[in-house]
Amino acid sequence: MPASTSSHLSLDRLRSEGQAFMEEITREYYLSTAGLKATAELQPLYEKYAAILSPDALAMTLEAFRAAPEGSEERRQTRILLEWLADSQTGRELAGLEERELAWEASAMIPLPDGSKMQYERTAIEMANSQDRARRLEIEQAKSAVVGAELAPLRQERFQREREIIERLDLADGYNATWELLSGIGIAQLRAQCEQFLKDTQPMWNDTYPEFVKRVLGIDPDDAHRSDALALFRAREFDTAFPARDMERQVQRQVREMGIDPLAAGRIRVDTAEREGKRSRAFCAPVRIPEEVYLVLRPHGGQTDWSTYLHELGHALHFAYMRPDHPYEYRWLGDNSVTESYAMLFDHHMDDAGWLKRYTELGESKVRAFQRNAGFEELHYLRRYCAKFVYETHLYGGDTRWQSLPDLYVDLLTTATNFKYSPAEAFVDVDPRYYSARYLRAWQLQALLRETLTERYDMDWWRNPRAGPWLVQSLFSEGQRELAHEQARRVASGGVELSFAPLVRSVERLLA
């Protein structure tokens, strides 16, 4: 009998071939998004590994999951494997659509009123960099028209099919209940926290929003669009303090000062080369965990560039310092709120006065103004993500008709941020499979970790040579064995639950 038949399936085979599959697929993403390969060919990989991604594999894992005692390690492992297989089932069935999406994004051109054309991939950067408001709105409008006509239908189909595929698995009652079962995360609880956060921070938002929009953009706060938000948060007034030439050197110095080798003995490979087809946003691709982790970026300098680099470095360090003897599912899978929290732990250095003074050229006189900006930006993104998550619970929950979703999207996002959103983005500005929930929980965990690190290693924990080894041993090495809320209980003193409270405290401090 050929080895690929389901009669030879076992959890161990899932682990070994699952890892091989993930390595190949991540390499494919890395090569195509780094500009080293023209297109990502995903479908052949799904075919090659069809046996371990089959409905039979899912059924076998489901059986093992149901047989494992509640609270056991086995239960934890089989839940994570089950979540992965459900995701892979979806991924395999949506691979064709996803390839079309990626190809569209890489090649789409936006016709502008002056007769010129702009690459779709460039539009966000161009809007953020344009100090000419009319030009920003022109790009925004032209982009919305093309996205609404071409990308939005692809994305809507993607989410419709995703919901059908997950519901067809018949693991629980509907998409949301299935996601909760597989992820171990409660949707209703997080959604209630988000709604409460939006309410609690409304006065703070009302106080700061008009001030920043008027001062930085010089426009009427009641008439600001999303493209204005991009320009506002581009925050170029401080960019000279964050030169491209110093970025890697200063950040690596800081990581060494906290007692961590920033390249993890060569396991982290930094790709800074300029190359056609290379994505402008930095990203991290763990091709083999922990042995081969790519940190890919195109340094152009400025605040956003530093912040993205720090974020991706946090991911890279997490992957490169995982225990090699941990099972596949703890290194490759699990609750991504955890890896996102380490990424955010690093990008939030940009809020820290001491860190800014030591590693950037910002200087004492500008730190306060910079921090107020950072507080405003943080509050904006938190409010945006809370609204996004609430919207996505409707998109996936099935309580709202597809054709009503664009209006709901505009209403929720515009109310939370004051910036006018376009209905064309309603299926584009969605993080598939509730990744927004991972970000929100990561934000909460990150703020808690910072308070914990400050308690243990003082205000300047980021240069305390004892802090790095603690991070590596207590957090990074564990991979994603724990859920973010379990980790919060273990690491923070006094059995703390994840919440927005430490984030509200930090935003209040920044805006004070």
**Residues at the site binding Zn ion, with contacts judged by CB under 5 A:** 340, 343
Cβ proximity to Zn ion: between 17 and 429 the closer is 429
Q: Which amino acid, residue 437? A: A
Minimum CB–partner distance for residue 498 and Zn ion (Å): 18
Q: How far is the CB of 311 from Zn ion (least distance, A)?
A: 6
We find the least distance from the C-beta atom of residue 379 to Zn ion, in angstroms, to be 20
Alpha-carbon Rg for the chain in angstroms? 23
Backbone φ and ψ for 500, nearest 5 degrees, come out as -85, -5
> Which H or E element spans position 99?
helix 73-107
Nearer to Zn ion (CB atom), residue 147 or residue 442: 442
Distance in angstroms (rounded) separating the CA atoms of residues 401 and 486 = 36
At its nearest, how many Å lie between Zn ion and the CB of residue 470? 22
Nearest CA among 160, 187, 40 for reference residue 106 = 40
Helical pair 73-107 and 174-183, crossing angle rounded to 10 deg = 120
Report the residue number, 343 or 382, with the smaller CB distance to Zn ion: 343
Output 95 or 442, the one with its CB closest to Zn ion: 442
Q: Which residue is nearest to Zn ion (CB)?
A: 343
Closer Cβ to Zn ion, 130 or 339, answer by number? 339
Q: How far is 90 from 41, CA to CA, in rounded Å?
A: 17
Task: For Zn ion, give the closer residue by CB, 78 or 304.
Answer: 304
Give the other-Cβ count within 10 Å of 274's Cβ: 8
Q: Shortest Cβ distance from residue 25 to Zn ion (Å)?
A: 18
Distance of alpha carbon 338 from alpha carbon 480, whole angstroms:
6
Nearest approach, Cβ of 392 to Zn ion (angstroms)?
A: 18
Shortest Å distance, C-beta 284 to Zn ion: 8
* Measured distance CA(305)–CA(228) in Å, rounded: 19
With respect to Zn ion, which residue has the nearer C-beta, 341 or 360? 341
> How many Å apart are CA 245 and CA 299, to the nearest integer?
8
Helices of type H across 237-363: 244-257, 303-320, 328-332, 336-347, 353-359
Tokens of 216: 């930085």
Supply the minimum distance, in Å, between the C-beta of residue 343 and Zn ion.
4
CB-nearer residue toward Zn ion: 340 or 392: 340
Cβ nearer to Zn ion, comparing 91 with 314? 314
Report d(CA 79, CA 239) in Å as an integer: 45
CB-based burial, 481-494: b 16+ in 10 Å, e otherwise: bbbbbebbeebbee
CA dist 119 and 194 (Å) reads 35
CB of 384 to Zn ion, least distance (A): 16
Burial class (CB in 10 A: 0-12, 13-18, 19+), 498: buried
> Which CB, 281 or 357, lies closer to Zn ion?
281
CB of 471 to Zn ion, least distance (A): 17
Q: Measured from the CB of residue 179, what is the shortest distance to Zn ion in angstroms? A: 20
**SS (HEC) of 427-484:** CCCCCHHHHHHHHHHHHHHHHHHHHHHHHHHCCCHHHCCCHHHHHHHHHHHHCCCCCH
Contact yes or no for 449/485 (Cβ under 8 A): no
* Of 418 and 446, CB closest to Zn ion: 446
